[in-house]
Amino acid sequence: MATTIFVLNGPNLNLLGTREPEIYGRDTLADIDARLAARAEELGVAVDCRQSNHEGDLVDWLHEARATGAKAVLLNAGAYTHTSVALHDAIKAIQLPVIEVHLSNPHTREEFRHKSYIGMAAKGTIAGFGAKSYLIALDAALIL
Ligand code: DQA
Protein backbone atom coordinates (compact mmCIF):
# COMPACT_ATOMS: atom_id res chain seq x y z
CA MET A 1 0.00 0.00 0.00
CA ALA A 2 1.35 3.44 -0.93
CA THR A 3 2.32 5.83 1.83
CA THR A 4 -0.40 8.46 2.03
CA ILE A 5 -0.18 11.97 3.42
CA PHE A 6 -3.46 13.75 4.12
CA VAL A 7 -3.50 17.48 3.25
CA LEU A 8 -6.39 19.20 5.01
CA ASN A 9 -7.43 22.80 4.42
CA GLY A 10 -9.93 24.75 6.45
CA PRO A 11 -12.24 27.72 5.96
CA ASN A 12 -11.83 30.25 3.16
CA LEU A 13 -8.88 28.43 1.63
CA ASN A 14 -11.17 27.46 -1.27
CA LEU A 15 -10.94 31.16 -2.19
CA LEU A 16 -7.14 31.19 -2.58
CA GLY A 17 -6.13 33.06 -5.70
CA THR A 18 -8.63 35.86 -5.19
CA ARG A 19 -8.66 36.11 -1.37
CA GLU A 20 -6.38 38.93 -0.14
CA PRO A 21 -3.70 38.05 -2.73
CA GLU A 22 -1.27 40.54 -1.18
CA ILE A 23 -1.20 38.22 1.86
CA TYR A 24 -1.92 34.77 0.44
CA GLY A 25 -0.62 35.05 -3.15
CA ARG A 26 -2.32 34.33 -6.45
CA ASP A 27 -2.05 30.55 -6.54
CA THR A 28 -5.36 28.72 -6.22
CA LEU A 29 -5.83 25.73 -3.96
CA ALA A 30 -6.08 23.59 -7.12
CA ASP A 31 -2.63 24.90 -8.17
CA ILE A 32 -1.21 23.96 -4.77
CA ASP A 33 -2.85 20.53 -4.81
CA ALA A 34 -1.43 19.87 -8.30
CA ARG A 35 2.08 20.81 -7.17
CA LEU A 36 1.77 18.59 -4.11
CA ALA A 37 0.57 15.67 -6.25
CA ALA A 38 3.50 16.12 -8.66
CA ARG A 39 6.05 16.30 -5.83
CA ALA A 40 4.43 13.31 -4.09
CA GLU A 41 4.71 11.28 -7.29
CA GLU A 42 8.42 12.12 -7.55
CA LEU A 43 8.84 10.94 -3.97
CA GLY A 44 6.80 7.76 -4.49
CA VAL A 45 4.01 8.65 -2.07
CA ALA A 46 0.36 9.69 -2.39
CA VAL A 47 -1.38 12.84 -1.18
CA ASP A 48 -5.08 13.06 -0.34
CA CYS A 49 -5.97 16.78 -0.53
CA ARG A 50 -9.25 18.09 0.90
CA GLN A 51 -10.81 21.41 1.90
CA SER A 52 -13.83 22.24 4.04
CA ASN A 53 -15.31 25.36 5.57
CA HIS A 54 -16.74 23.20 8.40
CA GLU A 55 -14.83 22.40 11.57
CA GLY A 56 -16.46 18.98 12.04
CA ASP A 57 -15.34 17.82 8.59
CA LEU A 58 -11.75 18.56 9.58
CA VAL A 59 -12.21 16.59 12.83
CA ASP A 60 -13.69 13.66 10.89
CA TRP A 61 -10.86 13.72 8.35
CA LEU A 62 -8.21 13.72 11.10
CA HIS A 63 -9.88 10.58 12.50
CA GLU A 64 -9.99 9.09 8.99
CA ALA A 65 -6.28 9.75 8.50
CA ARG A 66 -5.58 7.60 11.54
CA ALA A 67 -8.14 4.91 10.63
CA THR A 68 -6.79 4.49 7.10
CA GLY A 69 -3.14 4.36 8.13
CA ALA A 70 -1.96 7.69 6.71
CA LYS A 71 1.67 8.48 7.55
CA ALA A 72 1.09 12.12 8.47
CA VAL A 73 -1.27 15.05 8.03
CA LEU A 74 -0.50 18.53 6.72
CA LEU A 75 -3.13 20.83 8.23
CA ASN A 76 -3.88 24.43 7.37
CA ALA A 77 -6.88 24.98 9.61
CA GLY A 78 -7.31 28.61 8.48
CA ALA A 79 -9.02 30.69 11.16
CA TYR A 80 -9.88 27.55 13.19
CA THR A 81 -6.17 27.55 14.03
CA HIS A 82 -6.86 30.31 16.50
CA THR A 83 -10.13 29.03 17.97
CA SER A 84 -10.54 25.28 17.77
CA VAL A 85 -10.10 23.18 20.88
CA ALA A 86 -11.89 20.41 18.93
CA LEU A 87 -9.11 20.29 16.34
CA HIS A 88 -6.46 20.48 19.08
CA ASP A 89 -8.07 17.48 20.80
CA ALA A 90 -8.42 15.55 17.53
CA ILE A 91 -4.70 16.00 16.78
CA LYS A 92 -3.85 14.69 20.24
CA ALA A 93 -6.31 11.81 19.85
CA ILE A 94 -5.06 10.40 16.56
CA GLN A 95 -1.40 9.97 17.55
CA LEU A 96 -0.20 10.76 14.03
CA PRO A 97 2.31 13.47 13.15
CA VAL A 98 0.36 16.56 12.15
CA ILE A 99 2.30 19.42 10.56
CA GLU A 100 0.68 22.82 10.91
CA VAL A 101 0.88 24.80 7.65
CA HIS A 102 0.22 28.47 6.90
CA LEU A 103 0.80 30.52 3.78
CA SER A 104 1.34 33.67 5.81
CA ASN A 105 3.31 34.00 9.04
CA PRO A 106 0.60 34.54 11.65
CA HIS A 107 3.15 35.85 14.17
CA THR A 108 3.79 38.93 12.05
CA ARG A 109 0.05 39.68 11.81
CA GLU A 110 -2.77 40.65 14.17
CA GLU A 111 -2.48 39.65 17.84
CA PHE A 112 -5.47 37.27 17.58
CA ARG A 113 -3.47 35.15 15.12
CA HIS A 114 -0.57 34.66 17.52
CA LYS A 115 -2.27 31.85 19.45
CA SER A 116 -2.49 28.50 17.68
CA TYR A 117 -4.47 25.60 19.12
CA ILE A 118 -3.08 23.53 16.23
CA GLY A 119 0.53 24.44 16.95
CA MET A 120 0.11 23.44 20.60
CA ALA A 121 -0.65 19.87 19.51
CA ALA A 122 1.24 19.57 16.21
CA LYS A 123 4.61 17.97 15.53
CA GLY A 124 5.80 21.24 14.00
CA THR A 125 4.82 24.28 12.00
CA ILE A 126 5.74 25.62 8.55
CA ALA A 127 4.50 29.17 8.01
CA GLY A 128 5.28 32.22 5.95
CA PHE A 129 6.51 30.72 2.67
CA GLY A 130 3.31 31.24 0.68
CA ALA A 131 2.21 28.24 -1.37
CA LYS A 132 5.68 26.75 -0.88
CA SER A 133 4.83 26.15 2.79
CA TYR A 134 2.88 23.06 1.68
CA LEU A 135 5.79 21.61 -0.32
CA ILE A 136 8.21 22.21 2.54
CA ALA A 137 5.75 20.51 4.89
CA LEU A 138 5.47 17.51 2.56
CA ASP A 139 9.24 17.10 2.60
CA ALA A 140 9.18 17.45 6.39
CA ALA A 141 6.50 14.76 6.71
CA LEU A 142 8.68 12.34 4.77
CA ILE A 143 11.75 12.70 6.97
CA LEU A 144 9.74 11.62 10.03
C1 DQA B 1 -3.81 31.09 7.36
C2 DQA B 1 -3.57 32.08 8.50
C3 DQA B 1 -4.83 32.22 9.35
O4 DQA B 1 -4.62 33.18 10.38
C5 DQA B 1 -6.01 32.68 8.51
O6 DQA B 1 -7.19 32.72 9.29
C7 DQA B 1 -6.20 31.84 7.29
C8 DQA B 1 -5.02 31.47 6.53
C9 DQA B 1 -2.59 31.02 6.41
O10 DQA B 1 -2.48 30.02 5.68
O11 DQA B 1 -1.77 31.95 6.37
O12 DQA B 1 -7.31 31.55 6.89
O13 DQA B 1 -3.99 29.80 7.92
Please indicate whether residue 84, judged by its CB atom, sits closer than 6 Å to ligand 1.
no
- pLDDT at residue number 1: 67
Each residue's pLDDT tens digit in the chain (144 positions)? 689 999 999 999 999 999 999 999 999 999 999 999 999 999 999 999 999 999 999 999 999 999 999 999 999 999 999 999 999 999 999 999 999 999 999 999 999 999 999 999 999 999 999 999 999 999 999 999
- pLDDT at residue number 2: 82
Distance 64 CA to ligand 1 centre (A): 23
The CA distance from 143 to 26, in Å, is 29
The CA distance from 115 to 45, in Å, is 32
Could you list the active site residues?
24, 102
Q: What is the pTM of this model?
A: 0.98
Helices (H), 79-125: 85-94
- pLDDT at residue number 61: 98
Please indicate whether residue 3, judged by its CB atom, sits closer than 6 Å to ligand 1.
no
Question: Which protein residue's CA is at the shortest distance from atom 6 of ligand 1?
Answer: 79
The CA distance from 44 to 101, in Å, is 22
